[in-house]
Amino acid sequence: MAGLIPFNRKNRNVVSASPKNPFNMIDDFFDEAFNDFPILRRNLITDPFKVDVKEEDEKYFIEAELPGVKKEDVDINLNDDGRLSISVNREEKVEKKDDDSAYIHRERRRDSMQRSLYLTDANPDGRVHARMENGVLEVTVEKEEQEQINNGRKIEIE
């Protein structure tokens, strides 16, 4: 047991008593190469999808990037408090069967992502339009009409 050296794949700053294995060098090369590309390290839980929100006088315009997602897998809800929720629930199944052997390869994957935005002036009874094309979801939410703008009131001094 005295010859054991602690090893952590994420932290390779540990001094090794043995010469470096060439296969580990290849692993190191690819691990370090992909660290410069954040899109390849994207975590669906902490960073589910990108959303841009633009506010205009009469409406909100929301654009969400959902590459590879079908519109059937997307749910959009607007609550009375102005909360807009975009949810993605999808399931992928892959099944490969080789006729020469009894081997069957099956994979299943589920993705579930959600983003919620508060649109303070959103009209829950107003017009909401959504369309999806080429992995980009566009949602337009009508604002509530401002009745009369209250410029305040005059306070009398006693």
pLDDT band at 130 (very low <50, low <70, confident <90, very high): very high
Residue-range domains of the chain with CATH: 47-142 (2.60.40.790)
For residues 50 and 63, is the Cβ–Cβ distance under 8 A?
A: no
pTM, 2 dp: 0.58
For residues 139 and 130, is the Cβ–Cβ distance under 8 A?
A: yes
Per residue in 19-50, pLDDT (tens digit) is 566 666 676 666 665 554 444 444 444 557 89
CA 69/CA 132 separation, integer angstroms: 10
For the chain, the distance separating the N- and C-terminal CA atoms, rounded to the nearest angstrom, is 88
Per residue in 68-112, pLDDT (tens digit) is 888 899 999 988 888 888 999 988 777 776 666 666 776 777 878
For residues 129 and 140, is the Cβ–Cβ distance under 8 A?
A: yes
SS3 state at 47? coil
Q: What was the pLDDT predicted at 59? A: 92
Nearest CA to 147 out of 121, 118, 128 is that of 121
